[in-house]
Amino acid sequence: MCLSFKKWFLGINEKLNIYKCLIRSTLEYAAPILVLNENNIQRFQGIQYKALQIIHKEKPKCSSSYLHHLSQKEPVYDSLFKLGENFFEKNITSANPLVLELLDNLIHTQYGKTPIEMLYIIR
């Protein structure tokens, strides 16, 4: 997909919106599951770093905290953690028997911890 041409180009805000809609939304889609694996978080942070580097036309050795500041975007880890925490908190309080059974199975198979405890261990 071409986002710029000799006679026209997209500004930073438009590029950030495209990133947010196409890339970031895909990364955050499965946040409750992805946050439980550190390798996934590191891969997605790398994807976000590269996207922000391209959007701002920064050099390869630019710090990620600087890019996050320029973009006013939080790191992938923080975003995935918040989304995962919200998901588990909403579902733990749910009266849906299927959700309760799934969470009970997860608790017994994952180190004997609740999903919220698992998130805090990872963080």
Q: Where are the domains of the chain?
A: 12-122
Angle at 43 between CA 111 and CA 54, to 5 degrees: 155
What is the chain's alpha carbon radius of gyration, rounded to the nearest angstrom?
18
- Write out pLDDT tens, residues 74-84: 888 888 878 87
Q: Which phi and psi (to 5°) does residue 36 adopt?
A: -80, -5
Q: Between 81 and 106, whose confidence is greater?
A: 81
Q: What is the pTM of this model?
A: 0.66
Distance CA(15)–CA(53), nearest Å, equals: 11
Q: How confident is the model at residue 38 (pLDDT cuts 50, 70, 90)?
A: confident
- Write out pLDDT tens, residues 50-87: 888 888 888 888 888 888 888 888 888 888 878 877 87
> Given a cut of 70, is residue 109 above it in pLDDT?
no
